[in-house]
């Protein structure tokens, strides 16, 4: 019988890889707390409407990528494909709309039925930041600055480029949408099948097409900048001025778009060329219309998400865990004494490995295999003298130490 394998597009995070993931999450959490963001966790699955309503029934995410099923009670449930909608739902469910601004940090697994490739999985993990209930452009600057600080603390900011664009306000967006429809209508015969579908319902998403023919058409498409209202232009200028003030470099990218109508004003991505085609490591923007779409009051909001798998591929190797103290018993009396000593040392803050079987030779081999820093050997002769043998596994030096001072003598090996 063949050995069981993980489902395609999923992975086991063995200790080394999990250490990389944890380095990303712990760094992000620490920086988010510095900015006043509080950690939140929402369910891994929600009623399908939580995602289908804001993301849109006709988008690829809803129609092709979401893991949706009926539970035993007949409810339609979806594994979360992204964090924002669930967090907004949590704000509404818990009556928090009167407490804005709300600043949330979250991390956890997401699920999309995509074609697996380097840095992309069907179960993947994200860190997420949401600032809910803040209208000024300084809010956009703050969340971008937090993202830059996290990337900087992870040692990868210099390997990324911040791309920035504006999606304008509602009036800007409608004028631009009309201009795009008129432009693409002249090229209908050359558009890809996907872009023809988008032309009817979401023409902005054609700008993001990867089809080569679409790219050629997009090269001469109207520019959003020509359709911005004075108010939208002022907002974008303020975001750029704030980033300049903080010394955060960026490149204005007119083709950086968000296809859904509740997005507005700032859109941004930190991208890298170090991961091949999957270049975006952190991206987000302003979504003032989302709360209203989900049945709540109109609430200005801005946030971002970043893929932990991609960040973990870019960071330096995290520091290894603390090396253990191996407690090695000899004989029955030694076994009981070792169990008690291991417990006391752990309570004192030491990392302790207690072998469960085998003679002294086998247990010493295990101590060397796991990279233990020192070994404490408890034999009947030593115990009769209320002592233990302490061996430095790096130098090979060995001394007998009274149990009463063992913790002090172990301190250099902590």
Same domain assignment for residues 131 and 150: yes
185-233 pLDDT tens trace: 888 888 887 888 887 777 887 887 778 888 888 888 888 888 999 999 9
Alpha helices, H only, 167-275 = 170-185, 193-201, 212-218, 230-245
Same domain assignment for residues 62 and 81: yes
35-81 pLDDT tens trace: 999 999 999 999 999 988 877 654 556 557 888 999 999 999 999 99
267 domain-assigned = yes
| Domain count for the chain | 2
CA–CA separation, 397 and 390 (whole Å): 8
Q: Give the range of the structural domain holding residue 378, as residue numbers without chain letter.
A: 325-413
CA–CA separation, 118 and 279 (whole Å): 11
Same domain assignment for residues 158 and 249: yes
What is 163-187 written as a DSSP string?
EEEE---HHHHHHHHHHHHHHHHTT
83 domain-assigned = yes
pTM for the whole structure: 0.88
End-to-end CA distance of the chain: 45
pLDDT over 70, % of the chain: 96
Same domain assignment for residues 125 and 19: yes
7 domain-assigned = no
In sequence order, what are the beta bridge partners of 38? Answer: 104
Same domain assignment for residues 267 and 405: no
Same domain assignment for residues 59 and 164: yes
Listing from the earlier edge strand, what are the strands of the sheet with 325-329? 352-354, 325-329, 374-378, 387-392, 398-402
184 domain-assigned = no
CATH number at 74 reads: 3.30.930.10
180 domain-assigned = no
- Range ranked top by mean pLDDT from 108-122, 209-223, 302-316: 302-316
Same domain assignment for residues 370 and 254: no
Domain C-terminal end among 271, 289, 314 = 314
371 domain-assigned = yes
Domain C-terminal end among 314, 343, 359 = 314
């Amino acid at each position: 019988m063949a050995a069981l394998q993980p489902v395609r597009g999923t992975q086991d995070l063995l200790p080394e890889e999990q250490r990389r993931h944890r380095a990303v999450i712990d760094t992000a959490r620490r920086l988010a707390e510095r900015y006043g963001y509080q950690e939140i966790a929402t369910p891994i699955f929600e009623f399908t409407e939580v995602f289908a309503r804001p993301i849109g029934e006709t988008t690829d995410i809803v129609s092709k990528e979401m893991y949706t099923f009926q539970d035993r009670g007949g409810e339609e449930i979806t594994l979360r494909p992204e964090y924002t909608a669930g967090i907004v739902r949590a704000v509404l469910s818990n009556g928090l709309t009167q407490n804005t601004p709300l600043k949330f940090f979250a991390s956890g697994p997401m699920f999309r039925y995509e074609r697996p490739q380097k840095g992309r999985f069907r179960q993947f993990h994200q860190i997420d930041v949401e600032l809910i209930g803040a209208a000024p452009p300084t809010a956009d600057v703050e969340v971008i600055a937090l993202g830059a600080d996290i990337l900087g603390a992870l040692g990868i900011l210099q390997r990324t480029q911040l791309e920035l664009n504006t999606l304008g306000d509602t009036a800007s967006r409608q004028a631009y949408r009309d201009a795009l429809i008129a432009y693409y209508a002249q090229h209908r015969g050359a558009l890809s099948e996907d872009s023809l579908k988008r032309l009817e319902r979401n023409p902005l998403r054609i700008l993001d097409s990867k089809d080569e023919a679409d790219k050629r058409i997009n090269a001469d498409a109207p520019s959003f900048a020509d359709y911005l209202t004075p108010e939208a232009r002022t907002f974008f200028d303020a975001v750029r001025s704030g980033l300049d003030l903080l010394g955060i470099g960026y490149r204005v990218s007119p083709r950086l778009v968000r296809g859904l109508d509740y997005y507005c004003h700032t859109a941004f991505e930190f991208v890298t060329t170090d991961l091949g085609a999957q270049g975006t490591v952190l991206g987000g923007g302003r979504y003032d219309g989302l709360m209203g779409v989900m049945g709540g009051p109109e609430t200005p909001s801005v946030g971002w998400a970043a893929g932990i798998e991609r960040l973990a591929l870019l960071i330096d190797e995290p520091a290894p865990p603390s090396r253990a103290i191996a407690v090695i018993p000899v004989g029955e009396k030694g076994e009981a004494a070792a169990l008690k000593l291991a417990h006391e040392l752990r309570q004192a803050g030491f990392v302790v490995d207690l072998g469960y079987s085998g003679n002294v030779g086998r247990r010493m081999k295990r101590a060397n295999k796991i990279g233990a820093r020192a070994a404490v050997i408890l034999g009947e002769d030593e115990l009769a003298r209320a002592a233990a043998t302490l061996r430095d596994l790096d130098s090979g030096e060995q001394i007998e130490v009274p149990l009463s001072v063992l913790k002090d003598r172990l301190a250099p090996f902590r």
